[in-house]
Structure 1
Amino acid sequence: MTEYLSEPIARRVWEEKYRYRADGVIHDAAIEDTWRRVAHALATVEKPQHVECWEEQFYALLQDFKFLPGGRIQAGAGTRHHITLFNCFVMGAIEDSIAGIFESLKESALTMQQGGGIGLDFSTLRPQGVTARGVGVAASGPLSFMHIWDSMCATILSTGARRGAMMATLRCDHPDIEAFIEAKRDPLALRHFNLSVLVSDDLMEAVARDAEWPLLFPLGQDEEISGEIVVRRWSGMATPQPCRVVRKVGARALWQKITAAAYDCVEPGVIFIDRVNRANNLWYCEHISATNPCGEIPLPAYGACDLGALNLTRFVREPFSSLAVLDLDGVGAAASIATRMLDNVYEASGFPLQNQAEAARASRRLGLGLTGLADALIMLGIPYGSAESFRLAGEIMARIAHAAYRASIELAREKGTFPLFDREKYLQGEFVRSLPEDILQGISRHGIRNSHLTAIAPTGTISLLAGNVSSGLEPVYGWRYKRSIRAADGSLSALETQDHAYALYRSLHGEQAPLTPAFVTAAELPPAAHLGMQAALQAHVDSAISKTINVAEELSYSDFSGLYRRAYESGLKGCTVFRPNAVTGQVLTAGDEHMPDRQCCSIEREAD
């Protein structure tokens, strides 16, 4: 058994989530068997004469947790379990009818039953109080149906399936947006959802001008045109639609409601949806209005996310010394192999729905990212939030992105491009144009295998598996604390654990050695440090980043209220801010404090 499972919580995670058992038989006697199982399963889709070679390369990359594929891949690859290897999906547009709503609910349940988290845009549902088409009664509005999804998720959870995760989005100009913003003030409501407002550039401009903001909804077929009409590109519709203005609110008042709710109860988050669509590599054939549950993968209808993270702590040489250095060449080489591994998931996995298979394989999106960033910085002696930390993080992510794009070009030469590839239009993409010239020339000559290559996920559980390395790009929450682990039967247990870099430092220097200045926690960092790190990485991420800006409970609302605005001005695609509060409590607990059974998609988790 590898030394990294000596941490009790790491072994528990492996035992409960990733160790392969079937019909009472234990197939993975040790973590090495899990690595071998995953490596073999993803290599078998290669040409027969190349399977053994790629299996060994995949195994070497998995060894000692250098690369952490998404949790579904680790749990399902090479098993007989009837589950998908894709962590999350965005569901299709919800048709504004009872039949359409419950068909979407059924598809959501089938997806979650196989282990996929889901994202849904409820903007297609007409607002509360408007006459429902064809039946002459008042519509109950999107929030009423969200409660049905929430109950469905709880039911799926009660069967012992992987705990559900859902993201709900609503447009900032939907007439029910204020009720959506306030929904999480009830501590018992929508506990299986994360909520994010789709914030448009027009709203941000209206806020800046202190203008009125129209709340509206598309006219129904054959509906009489009356009142004030505005033409808008609406969720679930291919062309701009005439929309009736239902009422108007002050843009600043609406913005204040968003920030006040986030201050008081964490949600909603914000997604800067126009920026998401502008920067989308598939701008020419997709319109996005939802993300996966943690927000790092904006996806079209029925799209899927195929995630994995390079564990930066395994690339630090001579940690905590004057010779400490990060092996950037090793990071790049690992990113190249990881790109092939994740691409092979498309052939190795099934899908809950045929629509998902078709949509996912049309783009072959990958979400290769990183984890252990904060721990790696500590091991290198660089304080998180310093100018050097931003510079190095940007350099690391650029190395990962460029290696992944080059690997995807080579895969296109070998196996063909993704079906939606349009050479001329793809090369016009905002993000693509920022890539090095050799990559642009390679795409022009050979095409590319995957429409998107990079994303940064929370990696909460797989980072625990790797010895509790810091999660994703997040700073360290604390040096010692408790984490709750959900067993297969749905029960929770709290285990004490310690941060990987802290544990390593203590093993090298003893319990009494003073910590270096690089040992900083999330609570010690100003919000600007969180925003600065996310911005440094976003420049090299073609999808998005799941990042939580953790702030102190005592931070005043006046200081808090500008964070979402600063995130927008920093070029980010979205933002979530966590302030401890009476509704959601703390992210993690220290010492002997009791850890409550938090909602299933709380912000410290991953969709695993």
Structure 2
Amino acid sequence: MLATENKKMVNVERLNKDIAIFPPVHPITPEMKTTHRGVSRLVMLDRYSFKDTEKITLTEGDFVVLTIKEDPKFPARGLGYIESINWEEKKATVYVEDEYRGVLEKEDEIQTGLIVRSLDVIEKPLEIYYEQIAKRVAAGLSSVEVTEEKQNEWFEKFYSELASMNFVPAGRVLYGAGSETEVTYFNCYVMPFVQDSREGISEHRKQVMEIMSRGGGVGTNGSTLRPRNTLAKGVNGKSSGSVSWLDDIAKLTHLVEQGGSRRGAQMIMMSITHPDIIEFIISKMQNPRILRFLIENTKDEQIKKAAQDKLKFTPFTEQEKAMYQSIVNYKGIPGYGGFSEAIIRDAEEKLKTGGTYAVHNPEFLTGANISVCLTNEFMEAVENNDVFALQFPDVESYNQEEMMIYNEQWHEVGDVREWEKRGHKVRTYRKIQAQELWNLINICATYSAEPGIFFIDNANEMTNAKSYGQQVVATNPCGRVA
């Protein structure tokens, strides 16, 4: 038996009988001892352990991982034991371990630890020891050897290193290796630049969705998408802008669920040279007070407009105004009519403001982290307090031949400076004080933790990818400076 803090027990003998039905899973043996503690234990069981996802062995007394708090944005997972199952209603009563009860809201659930949840959010881990995972992974990695002798040799070598934790693979390897599932062994990917067309965006989106559905995180650089209001000759219209298309790609994170409770992860980047960069930087700001601060303090009209476009103001109704005015009327009267000075000051401030501030489209780009690719020229302009040009290929002036070259080559280049060096026409959409842009990045990063920054010129100068004729396009979600 495996004892836990709340005295509940895992029936190892019965679990081993269940494990026998699943060829990838190794049975529990007496020398196994590593279960981890706290968050590490939950992560191991929730994200990496092989599970009976079809619940063909699920029964009363089973140890399970489940969603304890069913919040649309911030669900909480935890561990517990099945008390009873109602197969007709597809629900189970679960006894939750003590350390996971903090997120429970109902008093009776907190006191008893008993909660009723849908079977859809309950999973039965078959690997409850890390050594079981290590054996599965070692078997998966050694399976490529041609002979059984070599497979056994490398299984033992891999298992020795894994079980002793001299080497711990990335999460996707722990989850996928030896599991006989079609998941990726790579944690993170970086996509090529997006081709600037509806077909290119659709193909990029398709590949991102495929990677995330198999467990990988994805990095995208959207700098190759044409700026907002740029002419799209093929449809005799104007572009909705790069940022709107990137939001569409980011939404995939909310749609694709990976193993356990894990959602996909995306990093979306944009070059500091792109004409839509201000909209991009400010896109995830959720603090109305900071947006108002930007409006009142920036010297740049485009930054001011971007903040105004993001800010949503709802004026008070006449009834609300009358309510606040009635509170203010008690000012100066002994006892303040039962209101505190703080309440009266707050009412005065609300009347002065005239309404409430919020943000438009608060879900915008929330499916991804965002980062700005900083160039050496931009950082020099910041240091020297110079102006900085926001540029993009001059697609509006291209003739048919030039447009064909653009469609075939621009997404392979991806850098407007290199594009200009190759003799192609580039349009300067505007110039901006570099320090204004730098301050905007810092203010937004301070108060919304976005965007991060990525010194892309430094990365390309230092990467060994140059030896293979390649370049750094972006990073995965782990590679930016937060």
Report the CA distance shift for 1:195/1:6 in structure 2 as closer, same or farther (over 3 A). closer
- Post-superposition offset of 1:234: 6.8
What letter corresponds to residue 69 of structure 1 in structure 2?
P
Quick check: 1:31 aligned with 2:130? Answer: yes
Q: State the Cα distance separating 1:219 from its structure 2 match.
A: 2.7
Q: C-alpha displacement at 1:211, in angstroms?
A: 1.1
2:478 pairs with 1:294: yes
Q: 1:213 to 1:234 in 2, by over 3 A?
A: farther
On the 8 A contact 2:223/2:270 being kept in 1, the answer is: yes
Counterpart amino acid of residue 19 in structure 1: S
| Alignment-derived partner of residue 141 in structure 2 | 42
**Counterpart pick for 2:250 among 144, 150, 171:** 150
> What TM-score results when the alignment is normalised by the length of structure 2?
0.56
The equivalent of 1:164 in structure 2 is: 264
Look up the match of 2:226.
Answer: 126
2:449 corresponds to 1:273: no
1:570 is matched with none
Q: Quote the offset at 1:6 in angstroms.
A: 4.8
For residues 462-517 of structure 1, give each alpha carbon's deviation from its aligned partner in whole angstroms, at most 9, with x where no partner exists. xxxxxxxxxxxxxxxxxxxxxxxxxxxxxxxxxxxxxxxxxxxxxxxxxxxxxxxx
Unaligned runs of at least 5 residues, structure 2: 3-31, 58-124, 287-361, 401-408
CA deviation profile, 1:578-606 (whole Å, cap 9, x unmatched): xxxxxxxxxxxxxxxxxxxxxxxxxxxxx
The separation in 2 between residues aligned to 1:164 and 1:77, in whole angstroms, is 19
Q: Tell me the residue number matched to 2:394.
A: 219
Measure how far apart 1:106 and its partner are.
Answer: 1.4
Out of 213, 217, 228, which is 1:113 matched to? Answer: 213
CA contact (8 A) 1:4 1:64 kept: no
Change in CA separation of 1:214 and 1:28 when aligned onto 2, cut-off 3 Å: same
SS of the residue corresponding to residue 466 of structure 2 reads coil
Q: Deviations over 1:333-365 (max 9, x none)?
A: xxxxxxxxxxxxxxxxxxxxxxxxxxxxxxxxx
Aligned partner of 1:200 in structure 2 is 375
Match of 1:256 in 2: 439
What corresponds to 1:482 in structure 2? Answer: none
User: Which residue identity lines up with residue 196 of structure 1 in the other structure?
Assistant: S
Alignment of 1:132-531 (within 5 A): 132-157=232-257, 162-186=262-286, 188-220=363-395, 223=398, 236-237=412-413, 240-241=419-420, 242=424, 243-284=426-467, 285-295=469-479
Query: 1:551: which partner in 2?
Result: none
- The SS at the match of 1:134 is helix
- 1:529-578 deviation line (CA, Å, top 9, x unaligned): xxxxxxxxxxxxxxxxxxxxxxxxxxxxxxxxxxxxxxxxxxxxx521xx
1:36 Cα offset (Å): 0.7
Quote how far apart the aligned CAs of 1:156 are.
1.4
- Say which SS state the counterpart of residue 89 (structure 1) adopts: strand
Counterpart in the other structure of 1:454? none
The 1:99/1:234 distance shift into structure 2, 3 A limit, reads closer
Provide the C-alpha distance between the structure 1 equivalents of 2:165 and 2:463, rounded to a whole number of angstroms.
31
Structure number with larger C-alpha Rg: 2
Paired AA for residue 454 in structure 2: I
RMSD of the alignment, in Å? Answer: 2.6
CA distance in 2: counterparts of 1:288 and 1:205, whole angstroms: 21
For 1:20, the aligned partner's letter is: F
Distance in 2 between residues matched to 1:196 and 1:249, nearest whole Å: 19
Q: In 2, distance between residues paired with 1:107 and 1:15?
A: 29
The 8 Å contact of residues 181 and 268 in structure 1, kept in 2 or not, is answered as: yes
CA distance in 2 between counterparts of 1:172 and 1:67 reads 39
* RCO higher in structure (CA 8 A, sep ≥6): 1
The 3 A distance-change label for structure 1 pair 160 and 33 is closer
| Structure 1 residue 185 displacement after superposition | 0.3
Structure 2 Cα separation of the partners of residues 38 and 159 of structure 1:
16
What is the alpha-carbon distance in structure 1 between the residues aligned to residue 253 and residue 399 of structure 2?
39
Contact map agreement 2:281 2:451 (CA 8 A) in 1: yes
SS in 1 for 2:273: coil
CA offsets per residue over residues 31-68 of structure 1, 9 Å max, x none?
21210110121122235343322222211111143322
Contact persistence 1:119–1:290 (CA under 8 A): yes
CA distance in 2 between counterparts of 1:135 and 1:161 reads 42
- Secondary structure of the residue aligned to 1:59 is helix
8 Å contact from structure 1 (residues 123, 235) kept in 2: no
Give the aligned residue type for 1:30.
Answer: Y
TM-score, structure 1 as length reference: 0.45
Write the distance in 2 (CA, Å) between the matches of 1:72 and 1:160.
12
Structure-1 separation of matches of 2:137 and 2:258: 28
Q: Decide whether the 8 Å contact of 1:198 with 1:289 is kept in 2.
A: no
Q: Determine the C-alpha separation between the residues in 2 that align with 1:269 and 1:189.
A: 17
